[in-house]
Amino acid sequence: MSARPARIVVIGGGPAGLMAAEALAVAGHTVTLCDAMPSVGRKFLLAGIGGLNLTHSEEPDRFKQRYGPRREVLAPMLDEFGAQALQDWAAKLGIATFTGSSGRVFPVGMKAAPLLRAWLHRLREAGVRILVRHRWLGWGPNGWGAGEPLRFATTDGEIKLPADALVLALGGASWARLGSDGAWVPWLASRGVDIAPLRPANCGFDVARPGTDGEIGWSAHFCERFAGQALKSIAAGFVAADGETQHRIGECIVTRSGLEGSLIYALSAPLRDLIETRGSATIRIDLAPGRTLERLQSDLARPRGSRSLASHLQSKAGIDGLKAGLLREYASADDLASASRLARLIKNLPVELRAPRPLDEAISTAGGVRFEALDDNLMLKALPGVFCCGEMLDWEAPTGGYLLTGCFTTGRAAGLGTARWLARSRLCT
């Protein structure tokens, strides 16, 4: 006599949850996917507003390095479903991709919505049942066990769904208004799951106001004139807590309290770790990365005659606007009077960062379910039959396509792992 079909519930409708559902559907299972929001993929759609950076064309070994301390555990999953496989997958949805000059990969049209629509259509065609406005309420009174009903709050009141296997793709705790609020942390922790504290990743930072005893933010004058503007064509570097020198070229945004944007996000993980270790982190900003110190010193030493210092800086060093304002935020009267000191400051402006911005403002979340709490199928050792994937796992990656790729690949791995476990458990036909 054959076993009855397995009842599989996936909770979370982001890329990881949708990919887990797809992997299970392809394996022949019928899946119910639940999401607390009125529609699925909300953070995914937000990520695509400025152009959906789906993945990156970097060669595979370099690509894996972007996952830092968790690169070894993620490497086998990326070998099975990495950047090229993700592009091939999108192509089968009818979404062509292209590689930009930076190596980043985007869908033609740059939008997330067409990909999501095509994906949801294919999932429904495969028999995946998608239930929105279904907020998981945690475990029932008997905890978790094969077949134990799961409790959900819906617009029609509380309901229960039985499940033989459960895939959790609940996200981290950034952008809670889009569904990732971290409510799952105490629920899993109470069941003996080892969870690393959730921390902001790909985030901005508050600065220590120059000339004060640790006050946060810029001077009122600087903030009023420049908050919201982009600081372009700069370099930034610092020595991380592990002694490794970090250095990037790019641009960032001046906020009312500090700095954010692509350059800062690329450095955010080691900056955050350094602040946790030492209480602050000082980055050294090069406002003129295309000029040597010697050239700057020579050019600034030329007589300026009746020209103002602002005009002299602009003509001899290319420093004006926001860059000039930032330089004056840190320069003393003696610095401004000395060509050599001014040149050194332009090439090596010390900006002290005191704290990352709050977790809910971050693009993504570090911390989460430790891989040591999972088996090779991404199943929780403490809760057989419960699988985890996506941003709720303890890994992080920079923006640039790496973050999304990690969500897709861990979602697929969790779906396949669930199918393997069900087959061994003989719960399915």
Distances (CA, A) of 328 to 209, 332, 391: 13, 8, 41
Cα–Cα dist 138/181, whole Å: 14
Q: What angle do CA 148, 167, 368 make, to 5 degrees?
A: 115
Q: Which helix (H) or strand (E) holds 369?
A: strand 364-369
Percent of the chain residues past pLDDT 70, beyond the cut:
98
pLDDT value at residue 1: 36
Domains contained in the chain, CATH given: 8-200+365-425 (3.50.50.60), 205-356 (no CATH)
Of 80, 86, 119, the closest CA to residue 104 belongs to 86
Phi, psi (rounded to 5 degrees) for 385: 95, -5
Q: Are 2 and 428 in contact (CB under 8 A)?
A: no
Contacts of 75 (CB under 8 A, 6+ apart): 64
Give the E-state strand segments of 100-244 in sequence order. Answer: 104-107, 129-131, 135-136, 150-154, 157-161, 165-168, 195-201, 205-207, 230-239
User: Beta 165-168 vs 8-11: how paired, if at all?
Assistant: parallel
Distances (CA, A) of 233 to 91, 215, 251, 285, 317: 35, 28, 6, 11, 13
Burial class (CB in 10 A: 0-12, 13-18, 19+), 235: middle
Cα–Cα dist 418/165, whole Å: 7
Cα–Cα dist 172/369, whole Å: 10
- Write out pLDDT tens, residues 95-117: 999 999 999 999 999 999 999 99
Coil, helix or strand for 376? coil
- Write out pLDDT tens, residues 301-353: 998 888 899 998 999 889 999 999 999 999 999 999 999 999 999 999 999 99
How confident is the model over 420-426, as a mean pLDDT? 87
For residue 379, list its beta bridge partners.
387
Percent of the chain residues past pLDDT 90, beyond the cut:
84
- Write out pLDDT tens, residues 247-306: 999 999 999 999 999 999 999 999 999 999 999 999 999 999 999 999 999 999 998 888
CB atoms within 10 A of CB 129: 13
pLDDT value at residue 426: 63
Coil, helix or strand for 168? strand
Q: Are 419 and 29 in contact (CB under 8 A)?
A: yes
Q: At what angle do helices 15-26 and 113-125 cross, to 10 degrees?
A: 30
Band of the pLDDT at 179, cuts 50, 70, 90? confident
Q: Which helix (H) or strand (E) holds 97?
A: strand 97-99
Cα–Cα dist 133/77, whole Å: 31
Whether the pLDDT of residue 12 is over 80: the answer is yes
Cα–Cα dist 362/367, whole Å: 13
AA letter at 9? V
Band of the pLDDT at 429, cuts 50, 70, 90? very low
Give the count of alpha carbons within 13 A of 399, CB side only.
Answer: 21
pTM of the entire predicted model: 0.91
Coil, helix or strand for 54? coil
pLDDT value at residue 305: 83
AA letter at 178? L
Contacts of 171 (CB under 8 A, 6+ apart): 12, 14, 43, 179, 180, 365, 390, 391, 392
Coil, helix or strand for 131? strand
User: Beta 129-131 vs 31-34: how paired, if at all?
Assistant: parallel
Across all residues in the chain, what is the average pLDDT?
A: 93
Cα–Cα dist 204/259, whole Å: 6
pLDDT value at residue 147: 63
